[in-house]
């Protein structure tokens, strides 16, 4: 079944523990944590201290999306704070193989993120080392932006690359503008894991919001069969 990962970027930061419990009760699968440095992206969010603070509030995996330059400097601190998954952007990694293995040596599952304008082919040399791939369907930096439909073709391409290499365990995650309409497009193209911020935390009933995204996602899965 498609995994749904609410992004806490759209949660009430003054009540993060309760917000996370709310989506956990609403049957979320992962908790997505957006880390921004004000350099790679034009926004600043949170660091390892907040990851450590939220860790005791949930049993769900914490999925840390690093939108930062020089990620190697901070990976051990995020791992120690309780991250289960860490993804780094292709666009900032000069030594991607080293960075991916630093994440794994820290006992954390490793992913690579591609911006909308970064091509699927850049993944080819590192594919077999990855636990997951994150395809951005917005330009990173903010929640609440519109889904970029041209990325759907890239989801199809990455899904084919993964399947043709027999690497079926690699998750394909999609992030940005995912809601109860766009989820279907993502899973029909091969996505297995959907991040959604405003479409979940922007709604009063988070369980209903997650269920609506899941329903759309499952329609996409069926149409892909």
Ligand X SMILES: O=C(CO)[C@@H](O)[C@H](O)COP(=O)(O)O
Residues 19-38 that bind ligand X (CB under 6 A): 32, 34
Cα–Cα–Cα angle for 192, 217, 167, rounded to 5 degrees: 15
- Whether residue 65 is annotated as binding a ligand: the answer is yes
Could you tell me which stretch among 14-22, 152-160, 180-188, 189-197 binds ligand X (CB under 6 A)?
Answer: 189-197
Among 28, 138, 151, 188, binds ligand X (CB under 6 A): 138
Among 19, 29, 175, 184, binds ligand X (CB under 6 A): 175
* Residue 197 in contact with ligand X, rule: CB under 6 A: yes
What CA–CA distance (Å, rounded) separates 72 from 45? 18
Whether 138 and 116 have beta carbons less than 8 Å apart is answered as yes
* Residue 145 in contact with ligand X, rule: CB under 6 A: yes
Whether 133 and 170 have beta carbons less than 8 Å apart is answered as yes
- Whether residue 34 is annotated as binding a ligand: the answer is yes
* Residue 143 in contact with ligand X, rule: CB under 6 A: yes
What CA–CA distance (Å, rounded) separates 199 from 213? 8
Catalytic residue IDs: 34, 175
Residue 181 CA: distances (Å) to CA of 29, 31, 215, 216: 19, 21, 10, 7
* Greatest pairwise CA separation for the chain in angstroms: 45
Binding-site members for a divalent metal cation are 32, 34, 65, 175
Judged by the rule CB under 6 A, the positions of this chain that interact with ligand X are 7, 9-10, 32, 34, 65, 138, 140-145, 175-178, 195-199
Binding-site members for substrate are 7, 65, 141-144, 175-177, 197-198
């Amino acid at each position: 079944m498609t995994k749904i990962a609410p992004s806490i970027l759209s949660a009430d930061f003054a009540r993060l523990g309760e917000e996370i419990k709310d989506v956990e009760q609403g049957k979320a699968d992962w908790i997505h944590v957006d880390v921004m440095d004000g350099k790679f992206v034009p926004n600043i969010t949170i660091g390892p201290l907040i990851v450590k603070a939220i860790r005791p509030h949930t049993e769900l995996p914490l999925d840390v999306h690093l939108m930062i330059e020089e990620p190697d400097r901070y990976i051990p601190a995020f791992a120690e704070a309780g991250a289960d998954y860490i993804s780094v952007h292709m666009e900032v990694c000069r030594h991607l193989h080293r960075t991916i293995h630093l994440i794994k040596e820290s006992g954390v599952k490793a992913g690579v993120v591609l911006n909308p304008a970064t091509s699927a082919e850049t993944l080819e040399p590192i594919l077999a080392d990855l636990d997951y791939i994150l395809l951005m369907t917005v330009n990173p930096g903010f929640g609440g932006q519109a889904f970029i439909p041209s990325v759907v073709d890239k989801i199809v391409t990455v899904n084919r690359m993964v399947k043709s290499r027999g690497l079926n365990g690699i998750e394909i995650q999609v992030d940005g503008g995912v809601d109860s309409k766009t989820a279907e497009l993502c899973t029909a193209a091969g996505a297995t894991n959907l991040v959604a911020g405003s479409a979940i935390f922007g709604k009063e009933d988070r369980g209903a919001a997650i269920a609506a995204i899941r329903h759309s996602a499952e329609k996409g899965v069926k149409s892909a069969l």
